[in-house]
Amino acid sequence: MDYSSFLQMREEFSLLVVMVILLVYDIFATEKALKQFQTVALSLFTLHTLLNCVPREAFAVAGGMFQYVPMQTYIKTILNIGTLIVLLQAHKYLDEDANRVKRGEFYFLTLSTLLGMYFMISSGNFLMFFIGLETASIPMATLVAFDKYNKKAAEAGAKYILSAVFASSISVFGISLIYGSTGTLYFNDIATVFTGTPLQLMAFVFFSVGLFFKISLVPFHLWTPDVYEGSQTNITSYLSVISKGAAVFVLFTLLVKVFPKIISDWQPILYGLAVLSITVANVFAIRQQNLKRFLAFSSISQAGYILLAIISGTALGMASLVYFVLVYMFSNLAAFGVLSVIEQRTSKVQMNDYNGLYQTNPKLSFVMMLALFSLAGIPPFAGFFSKFFIFSAAAQQGFYVLVFIALLNTIISLYYYLLVIKAMFLNTNEQPIETITSDIPVKISLVFCTIGILFVGLVSTFYDQIAVFSFGM
Amino acid sequence: MQYTLLIVLLPLISFIFLGLMDSKLKPKVAGIIGTSVLGIITALSYTAAFEYFTMHKIAGVYERLIPLHIEWVRFTEFLHIDLGILLDPISIMMLVVITTVSFMVNLYSTSYMHGEKGFQRYFAFLSLFTFSMLGLVIATNIFQMYIFWELVGVSSYLLIGFYYTKPSAVAAAKKAFIVTRFADLGFLVGILFLSFYTKTFDFGILTSGNPNVFASTVGVSFMGLSVMSWAMGLIFIGGAGKSAMFPLQIWLPDAMEGPTPVSALIHAATMVVAGVYLVARLFPVYEVYAPDVLHGIAYIGAFTSLFAAVIACVQTDIKRVLAFSTISQIGFMMVGLGVSGYGAHEGLGYMASMFHLFTHAMFKALLFLGAGSVIHAVHSNEMKDMGGLRKYMPITNYTFLIACLAIAGIYPFSGFFSKDEILAATFEFSPYLGGVMSIIAGLTAFYMFRLYYSIFWGKGHKHAHDHTPHESPLAMSIPLIFLAVVTIFAGFIPFGHFVTSDLANYDIHLDMTVAVMSVSIAIFSIGIATLMYRKESKIPNIMGKTFSHLHKSASNRFYIDEVYIFITKKIIFKNISTPIAWFDKHIIDATMDGFAGVTQWTSVKIKGFQSGQVQQYAYIFLLGTLIIAALVLFV
Amino acid sequence: MNFLSIFVLVPALMMMGLYVSKTRKQIQFVTATGASILMILSGVITYMYLSERAAGNMAEMLFTADTVWYAPFNIHYSVGIDGISVAMLLLTSIIVFTGVFASWKIDPLPKEFFLWYCLLSIGVYGFFISTDMFTMFMYYEIALIPMYLLIGVWGSGRKEYGAMKLTLMLMGGSALLLVGILGIYYQSGATSMNILEIAKTTIPIQAQYYLFPLTFMGFGVLGAMFPFHTWSPDGHASAPTAVSMLHAGVLMKLGGYGCFRVAIYLMPQAAHEMSWIFLVLTGISVVYGAFSAIVQTDLKYINAYSSVSHCGLVLFAILMLNQTAMTGAILQMLSHGLMTALFFALIGMIYGRTHTRLITEMSGLMKVLPFLGVSYVIAGLASLGLPSLSGFVAEMTIFVGSFQETDTFHRVLTIVACTSIVITAVYILRVVGKILFGVIQDEHHKHLTDATWFERLSVVTLIIAIFALGSAPFWISNMIGESVLPVVTQLAK
Amino acid sequence: MGDLFSNFLTGSVPIEAYLGVSLIMFFAGVYGFLSRKSLLMILVSIELMLNAADINFVVFNRYLYPGQMEGFFFTLFGIAIAACETAVAIAIIINIYRNLTSVEVGEIDEMKE
């Protein structure tokens, strides 16, 4: 049998290479050489990102277990960039003496979750998908519980692993039923025979909640705020952007590729989930004082918005979704970046700690404001465009009421985003957070995010590029 | 006759100039500018009058001249506001009246207002008023008239409130403006009705007598009443507001808070007759298409006249007496119009009322200026502070007397002729109304002489004014004398040759019976007044006692003001605005805040779901899964 | 990109200029020059427009340009102006200009203030020049957001509450709007979001029945239509001077403009059938606003409620659906914009001196502040519709226009609306009498100083504009009138 | 006894029996997860759930789709992954124990609402 075709899985291999190099480097390099570890790691990963950012012809490997379509390059690149930003933001944290010894693990685990997502994205078979899923989530648990001596981290880790495993076991049970009812695990074959018999519907539901869990849709979201709060901030951002981004993409592809026959069944499900997620998350968010929890709920409601793109099930929706993920990545990572900088310096995460931030840290609060406005969907920032496109995609399929509900929720979301802005700009504080001079990598990452927020929307090239292949799929 | 434009423009220019320069100018200079401008336009309007009445006559009928006419703003294909100058007998007459009186008043003011703060502002406002008033009378179309109507209202507001630190003055100004404004609402809606159906604002077309103009109004009715009645009635409300017809007369007495010359100009001679002028302008329309309204006007006029005359008998503030007499006299004019018909002899009332407007302007201005000079001398408006002034101020005395005789309608003073015509016309219309009007004439004579005597006769109350009062300076006396002269001889103007309802000549012939009767009534009432007020006498008090109710309510102006206070304060402020404001705050606004509140509340209520217990999370997770499954399977 | 986009470009450049400028002097220089340039530009564009028309170019929109932006959604960046937009651009430039001078010595953080201010003006200008629904909506929202910070940071009184309320309620409006826009786009089946394109198609009547109310209400919220007006008093009361000016002067006009351009123009059938609902609502807000203004004691609240009344009149006239009334509506937008801006400017200046806005605590200011006093009187007279000031022409056009509708319903409503001129007089004179006339009660008020040069500049500019519009309305009313025509013909279909 | 054994070999035990078993296992696991107090027990219950799924795969493969291997392979991978999960979970539980000196699931609710 010819294995050369495996070499086509370029992204996965290059990432694997990076991981192995880093592992070896971390283990065998001298103390002196290790000083450059992060630099090397970052540059390697950047290289990997650049190498794999060009879409290729679609192909299938291993008898269709691994299926590539050009669109995946975009989503993977987005994930790469996101990861890169996260790593940049984590740079300072990993340089601290306490964590220096663990940074090898940090990189390794992060990248392995990324690898898992790669497989998840490109999978053409439920086995592959399952492996990807688990590869993405098990190391994640260790990351969540990364700093060992932090009680909260431990708790978060426990909550994450337990919920994750619970979810995935239900999901696996679902998959088993799918297998039982169709006799195959290959997406293409299933698509033809999956006609929506009661058993199959049951199976579908059981299976899909596993993904809903990863996207953290209400009511499968309850782990999210706790885990986000407990884990180290950079990992939270990774969790909120990267794994979520991958999951929504996969959900879309699965629904369209594998379950097209029962669209009339999953559309109502998504409808309900979208309404629930957006509303409940918003209502929870307005009360939050801890900004990490706050962003957790906001990210849940954002996930709800993403469903509007998925529910349309059209190419337009696909493009809007990928675009939304891109914008969401920039905005959310910017917010988390500021958050992590301040937390690392002052270990302050409460909203009222941010009172009068603008007086002392104008730049940081400016970036924060951009990020929040973008999340709230205010022009001229990218968030406005991504939201508009998603609504447009949904409206095209006639989901006006859903769009309207979502829009009403934007009012609530605007309210709580404004609360933070109010804290930073309006409120006064006798001992505000002292002026912070953030290190180069964070600066780079924030500038990068800002540029993204400002121009991804106004310049239509990005969307057009994405759209090209979305129509191809 | 293009130069008539100057008559309007010059005051405007002087207003703008004075207004902008304001305190940068020396008071004297400002006064001179203002007065001289008025002098110029007076001369201009005299020449205009002369030229018009001599030359522009075709087959004995005066033609309507429109020397200037521009479209100002266009509403629909038919309706557009034009600004222009319309010259016909009444507008020419008004030009003469306004410029003359205004000029006199300006001249008078230069010394009357001497040393007042805001002297320049005063003259600026006077020019503004003159401008607006002139613009009003030369209006070629009803909307232009409305425009200047408003401007007149504002300038009157500014002038009444001239002493803006005096609360009563401010209040009076506000009252005057709002009451007239309310009336103008009627005017506006009237215009809207009229213009909608006739498709024009233009007086020329409206009064052309061409029935096609009103074709579309035939048989159209709005809420039961014929559209034309609506239109003309509402328009009359506008006039009633400005001309202080019952029940909108309340603002005029208070308006006396303004400087006396202002009262002379605005609230005696010119602005208050705008209503009369308006009706006269649209007379043909009233006469043909809304006779019911026209008769209504007659009765309202009569009632107002009586009402005001009665009140005038008991007022003690001399300016207020004059104010009420003004209302009463305007009532006469309205009656004159109301009873008039269209055409040569039927148009007698029309002609008479215009005539009375003319003469009244002169002698009433004279009266006010005289009163002004008295007040100037004794620094008080109250009768009780006066008396025996004839020794000190002869000129004022004689001029005032002349004016009194004129208004009382004694031959050969101008008032006699005009009033006589009105009475004659009224008698032709209905003897009863005629009788009433004669009685009012008597009352007029009575209260005027009551006024006269209590100012100039009797023994003076020195304590009221420590220094001995003295005759006013020349700048004040000249106008008095001039107006007195006019008052004496104006009666002999063959008015019918100039102003008639159909623009044709008409020879006035005295109706002897009416004349004799009215004169005798006048003399009789003057006699009574002489008895009662020439010397100190008990009679007034006895009278007051006997008719105590009447006396009391009359001196309280029949409590009309209280009614207004009630309406404004109680009804509008307390029972409409306040509730609305409350509603806005506690219902509408509260609802909006309510949404926010509810969201917050829910947020607190449902926080239990996030219990922190993994098992409960899993439980909800499972529940969600099963519910979805159930829905998918069974729904 | 074409000539029109410069209106968006200039404020953007101003923002850059502000970003680099350090001292207050530089900031003032940048803003002043920018604002003046905008003034000049709008003058130029007016001239160009008129000469184009004179040259016989009868296209519905002039200077149109169209660049594809987001092809998959048929979103174009397309601009173009007709007489109405030109009028609005003029208005905006005047207000922006005067606003800059009214907040010449703003404190604290002048730089940030003007940055937001410029962003706001970008939104407004963009809205008026764009003919594509998406860009229109985008600019609309751009204009909304800076309000929050402008009010929150530089405001006074219950600023945080006011700012939040304003922002959220307007956001609610735009939520309705967005659904409306998407609905219009997809239901019309047009191949572009360009209004002119969509106007060529007809939206199915069933769709119109829910899209029209959505769109109209969406814009109506910004137009302070009863019962969605409550953001206006609280918002305006707490906003800083220049912001109140720009917001009440221009931003509220976006509402009327939008109702006119989108709701009525694109959905004529529904407009015909459903106008009565909104006629009642707007009729209410006309009288209601005026009556509530009578009992207010805070100058800004009084003016805010009078704005409710006047803007109500705008929507009211638009809903009369005939050319004259609509022309009147646009005129009213202009005149109200100018005079309310003047009002807010003056109130701000008075407040800056007396540190109170309660009319009960002021009296006899005319003596110490003659200039401000006289200007206030002029503003008041304009607002109660004195001829030769802008208010009169607008209101008369509206009333005459509304009177063309012959049925009793419209008649009665029109007459009811007319009564507002009396009520307006009542509260205006009440204020003038209370604060300007009489004798000074408060000792401190005896030593107040009258307006400074920059304050005078902004006030005088506005007054001149008001006079100009009031005494020579013919050219602008003709310009607007012929631009209203397309909508009227659309309605006639 | 003997024939049951032979039935097992010949595969004539009805599939429903296996599915029943797996279903029971699954929900037993779920119940355990929801009700147990100790983290370790919860972990065990999860194992039950996963294994139930594995049984399904095997049974489906063996009974319904003989002649293909997918089910079996999935089971193998499933077991492996379950092992990883358990390993990580145990590690974290130990960490918990280090921090809280307890493995009661009720203890770990510091973060809520």
CB contact under 8 A, D30 and B622: yes
List CB contacts (< 8 A) between B181 and chain C.
Answer: 384, 421-422, 425
| Assigned token pair, B436 | 């009433």
Percent over 90 (pLDDT), chain A: 62
List CB contacts (< 8 A) between C169 and chain B.
Answer: 592
| DSSP run (H or E) holding B593 | helix B589-605
d(CA B439, CA B313): 13
d(CA A411, CA A406): 9
Q: How confident is the model at residue B131 (pLDDT cuts 50, 70, 90)?
A: very high
What φ, ψ does residue B541 adopt, rounded to 5°?
Answer: -60, -45
Give the domains, in start order, of chain D with CATH numbers.
2-107 (1.10.287.3510)
CB contact under 8 A, C168 and A414: yes
Nearest to A332 by CA among A213, A470, A445, A193: A445
| DSSP run (H or E) holding B70 | strand B65-74
Contact C18, C79 (CB under 8 A): no
Q: How confident is the model at residue A473 (pLDDT cuts 50, 70, 90)?
A: low
pLDDT of residue C452: 85
The mean per-residue pLDDT over the stretch A61-66 comes to 84
pLDDT of residue D7: 67
Q: How confident is the model at residue C366 (pLDDT cuts 50, 70, 90)?
A: confident
Task: Annotate chain A with three-state secondary structure.
Answer: CCCHHHHHCHHHHHHHHHHHHHHHHHHHCCHHHHCCHHHHHHHHHHHHHHHCCCCCCCEEEHHHCEEECHHHHHHHHHHHHHHHHHHHHHHHHHHCHHHHCCHHHHHHHHHHHHHHHHHHHHECEHHHHHHHHHHHHHHHHHHHCCCCCCHHHHHHHHHHHHHHHHHHHHHHHHHHHHHHHHCCCEHHHHHHHCCCCHHHHHHHHHHHHHHHHHHCCCCCCCHHHHHHHHCCHHHHHHHHHHHHHHHHHHHHHHHHHCCHHHHHHHHHHHHHHHHHHHHHHHHHHCCCCEHHHHHHHHHHHHHHHHHHHHHHCCHHHHHHHHHHHHHHHHHHHHHHHHHHHHHHHHCCCEHHHHCCHHHHCHHHHHHHHHHHHHHHCCCCCHHHHHHHHHHHHHHHCCCHHHHHHHHHHHHHHHHHHHHHHHHHHHCCCCCCCCCCCCCHHHHHHHHHHHHHHHHHHHCCHHHHHHHHHHHHC
Answer yes or no: is pLDDT of C3 > 90: no
Contact C401, B75 (CB under 8 A): yes
With touching defined as 3+ CB pairs under 8 A, do chains C and D touch?
no
Answer yes or no: is pLDDT of D77 > 80: yes
Other CB atoms within a 10 A radius of the CB of residue B66 amount to 18
The mean per-residue pLDDT over the stretch B301-320 comes to 88
Answer yes or no: is pLDDT of D28 > 90: yes
List CB contacts (< 8 A) between C176 and chain A.
Answer: 407
**What SS3 state is found at D38?**
strand
What φ, ψ does residue B84 adopt, rounded to 5°?
Answer: -165, -175
pLDDT of residue D66: 87
The mean per-residue pLDDT over the stretch A415-422 comes to 92
d(CA A248, CA A240): 12
CB contact under 8 A, B628 and A265: no
pLDDT of residue D42: 92
Nearest to B410 by CA among B526, B531, B522, B524: B522
> Counting every residue, how long is chain B?
635
| Assigned token pair, B451 | 């006024």
Q: How confident is the model at residue B462 (pLDDT cuts 50, 70, 90)?
A: low
| DSSP run (H or E) holding C284 | helix C268-295
CB contact under 8 A, B613 and D111: no
What φ, ψ does residue A431 adopt, rounded to 5°?
Answer: -120, 85
pLDDT of residue B220: 75
Report CA-CA distances (Å) from A353 to A47, A289, A356, A424, A431: 39, 10, 8, 9, 9
| DSSP run (H or E) holding B74 | strand B65-74
To test the contact with chain C by mutation, choose from A358, A378, A384 the residue with the greatest count of C C-beta atoms within 10 A, namely A378
DSSP string, C251-283: IHHHHHHHIIIIIIHH-HHHHHHHHHHHHHHHH
Residue B170 to chain C, least CA–CA distance (Å): 6
CB contact under 8 A, A392 and C73: yes
Listed range (B7-16, B209-218, C402-411) with the worst mean pLDDT: B209-218
Contact C65, C194 (CB under 8 A): no
List CB contacts (< 8 A) between A159 and chain B.
Answer: 614, 617
Residue A48 to chain B, least CA–CA distance (Å): 38
d(CA A325, CA A77): 11
CB contact under 8 A, C183 and A395: yes
What is chain B's mean pLDDT, rounded? 85
Bigger pLDDT: B317 or A3? B317
With touching defined as 3+ CB pairs under 8 A, do chains B and C touch?
yes
Bigger pLDDT: B219 or B163? B163
Q: Which residue of chain D is at minimal alpha-carbon distance from B615?
A: D34
Residue B581 to chain A, least CA–CA distance (Å): 27
CB contact under 8 A, A425 and C149: yes
Cis status, amide bond into C370, omega within 30 of 0? no
pLDDT of residue A233: 92
Q: At what angle do helices B318-339 and B431-456 cross, to 10 degrees?
A: 160
Residue A219 to chain B, least CA–CA distance (Å): 6
CB contact under 8 A, C139 and A467: no
- From the list D50, D60, D108, which residue is nearest A172 (CB)? D50
CB contact under 8 A, A151 and D42: no
What is chain A's mean pLDDT, rounded? 90
ipTM metric? 0.89
Contact D95, A145 (CB under 8 A): yes
pLDDT in tens, C4-21: 888 889 999 999 999 898
Listed range (A113-117, B403-407, C313-317) with the worst mean pLDDT: B403-407
pLDDT of residue D9: 66
| Assigned token pair, C80 | 């173009």
CA A378 from centroid of its chain's CA atoms: 21
Answer yes or no: is pLDDT of D1 > 60: no
- From the list D33, D106, D112, which residue is nearest B610 (CB)? D112
Q: Which residues of C42-65 are buried (b: 16+ CB within 10 A; e: fewer)?
A: beebbeebeeebeeeeeebbbbbb
What is chain C's mean pLDDT, rounded? 89
Bigger pLDDT: D106 or C97? C97
Q: What is the DSSP letter of B575?
A: I
d(CA A347, CA A340): 9
pLDDT of residue A116: 94
pLDDT in tens, C158-169: 888 989 999 999
CB contact under 8 A, D98 and A155: no
List CB contacts (< 8 A) between C323 and chain B.
Answer: 76
| DSSP run (H or E) holding C238 | helix C231-238
Bigger pLDDT: C192 or C92? C92
Q: What is the DSSP letter of B559?
A: G
Nearest to A266 by CA among A216, A326, A200: A200
Q: What is the DSSP letter of B567?
A: I
CB contact under 8 A, B614 and D111: no
Report CA-CA distances (Å) from B418 to B369, B490, B517, C451: 22, 10, 15, 55
Residue A294, chain D, CB below 8 Å: the answer is no
d(CA B621, CA A162): 12
Answer yes or no: is pLDDT of C68 > 60: yes
DSSP string, C14-83: HHHHHHH--SHHHHHHHHHHHHHHHHHHHHHHHHHHHHHHHTT---SSEEEEEEEEEGGGTEEEEEEE-H
The mean per-residue pLDDT over the stretch B580-602 comes to 87
- From the list C226, C439, C473, which residue is nearest B73 (CB)? C473
Q: Compute the Cα dihedral for C469, C470, C471, C476 and give only its sign.
A: positive
d(CA C121, CA C96): 7
d(CA A272, CA A274): 5
- From the list B596, B610, B617, which residue is nearest A163 (CB)? B617
Report CA-CA distances (Å) from A177 to A124, A199, C367, D32: 18, 7, 90, 22
| Assigned token pair, A197 | 């018999």
**What SS3 state is found at C130?**
strand
CB contact under 8 A, D81 and A130: yes
Q: How confident is the model at residue A471 (pLDDT cuts 50, 70, 90)?
A: low
List CB contacts (< 8 A) between B607 and chain D.
Answer: 113
Residue D109, chain B, CB below 8 Å: the answer is yes
For chain A, list the contacting chains (3+ Cβ pairs, <8 Å).
B, C, D
Provide CB contacts within 8 A for A50, sequence distance 6+. none
pLDDT in tens, A139-164: 999 999 988 888 889 999 999 999 99
Contact B35, B41 (CB under 8 A): no
Q: Which residue of chain A is at minimal alpha-carbon distance from C140?
A: A379
pLDDT in tens, B76-108: 888 888 888 988 888 888 899 999 999 988 888
CB contact under 8 A, C175 and A411: yes
Q: Which residue of chain D is at minimal alpha-carbon distance from B609?
A: D113
